[in-house]
């Protein structure tokens, strides 16, 4: 069993050093793989040579019998697939026994998603003739154009957005950086905000942040949330709308249009494609082309 524990340590080190995954993600992988190794030890396995596809299936059945949800079992299998794929690529096993195991079907509901028409009404709600309205219009467009988390949106710096080439640099979870294309609508509204509204909101103060609130300070998550609620009501949408609803809508609209799942995963900044798969029943230029082709406001 010591050999398998050593393999787990190598894998976790790979996730941290090579993949740069967040601490919480690595801890989750460690728990899932560690639980599997404890299971195979109870079933008489002492090394990789004793582990085969039926044993992995037996483990998943055991998790189901323990009451774990389909989503939790799928996450566990994703961790095991990564573990065995790493061992295979390192030449430690002759084949990957997890390849033939399918992900458990999940009964998880589709995230709350707005229609393209509802999104358009909200995006058109701010008054661009006022400084705050111009700022809010740019923020809403950016939120939808790049599928950002609200913390990523309010944390954007002036240097993070290049409207000339249509790219935004995002610092996501686990300090992972990604580049996301933005379309013509977002570029135009951000440019207008930078030229007209931001200097007025800054009130002579220097700030590296892109979007400013009262007194030239960075706008907070709570401040933006209030703005979004107000514009949703103005657009005639009665149900609760959260900033994350726009992120869900971004992903769903791209996938419904035919975008590649892994490209959407890259734009969202998901470490695992299983996270992106809740929206379904690379290179920088490729991502830009996909965004322009499939995004409703690209």
Express each pLDDT in 121-167 by its tens digit.
999 999 999 999 999 999 999 999 999 999 999 999 999 999 999 99
Q: Clarify whether 262 is annotated catalytic.
A: no
From the list 11, 185, 193, 279, the catalytic residue is 279
From the list 85, 244, 289, 297, the catalytic residue is 244
How confident is residue 284, by pLDDT bands cut at 50, 70 and 90? low
Task: Retrieve residue 272's tokens.
Answer: 């695992």
Q: Clarify whether 29 is annotated catalytic.
A: no
From the list 59, 189, 270, 291, the catalytic residue is 270
Q: Clarify whether 291 is annotated catalytic.
A: no
From the list 81, 135, 149, 198, the catalytic residue is 149
Structural domains of the chain sorted by starting position, each given as residue range(s) with its CATH number in brackets: 2-89 (1.10.150.130), 116-294 (1.10.443.10)
DSSP string, 254-283: HHHTT--HHHHHHHHT-SSHHHHGGG----
Q: Clarify whether 295 is annotated catalytic.
A: no
For residue 116, count other CB atoms closer than 10 A to its CB: 14
Residues 244, 148: Cα–Cα separation, whole Å: 8
Q: Say what the pTM is.
A: 0.62
Q: Clarify whether 244 is annotated catalytic.
A: yes
Q: Clarify whether 149 is annotated catalytic.
A: yes
Among 287, 271, 282, smallest CA distance to 20 is for 271
- Evaluate whether 147 touches 133 at the Cβ level (below 8 Å): no
Residues 169, 150: Cα–Cα separation, whole Å: 14
Express each pLDDT in 38-89 by its tens digit.
998 888 887 888 888 888 988 988 898 898 888 888 889 999 999 999 999 9
């Amino acid at each position: 069993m010591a050999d398998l524990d050593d393999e787990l340590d190598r894998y976790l080190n790979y996730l941290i050093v090579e993949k740069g995954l967040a601490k919480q993600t690595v801890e989750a992988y460690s728990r899932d793989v560690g639980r599997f190794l404890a299971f195979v030890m109870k079933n008489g396995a002492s090394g990789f040579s004793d582990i085969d596809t039926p044993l992995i299936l037996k483990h998943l059945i055991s998790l189901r019998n323990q009451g774990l949800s389909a989503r939790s079992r799928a996450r566990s299998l994703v961790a095991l697939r990564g573990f065995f794929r790493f061992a295979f690529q390192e030449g430690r096993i002759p084949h990957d026994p997890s390849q033939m195991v399918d992900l458990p079907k999940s009964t998880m509901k589709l995230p709350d998603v707005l229609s393209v028409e509802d999104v358009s009404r909200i995006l058109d709600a701010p008054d661009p003739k006022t400084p705050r309205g111009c700022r809010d219009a740019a923020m809403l467009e950016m939120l939808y154009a790049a599928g950002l988390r609200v913390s990523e949106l309010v944390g954007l710096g002036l240097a993070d957005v290049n409207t000339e080439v249509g790219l935004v640099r995002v610092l996501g979870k686990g300090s992972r950086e990604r580049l996301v294309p933005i379309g013509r609508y977002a570029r135009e509204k951000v440019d207008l905000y930078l030229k007209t509204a931001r200097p007025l909101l800054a009130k002579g103060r220097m700030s590296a942040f892109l979007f400013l609130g009262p007194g030239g300070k960075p706008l907070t998550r709570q401040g933006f949330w209030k703005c979004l609620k107000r514009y949703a009501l103005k657009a005639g949408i009665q149900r609760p709308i959260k900033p994350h609803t726009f992120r869900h809508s971004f992903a769903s609209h791209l996938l419904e249009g035919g975008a590649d799942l892994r490209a959407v995963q890259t734009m969202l900044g998901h470490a695992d494609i299983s996270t992106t798969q809740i929206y379904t029943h690379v290179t920088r230029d490729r991502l830009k082309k996909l965004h322009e082709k499939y995004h409703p406001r690209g």
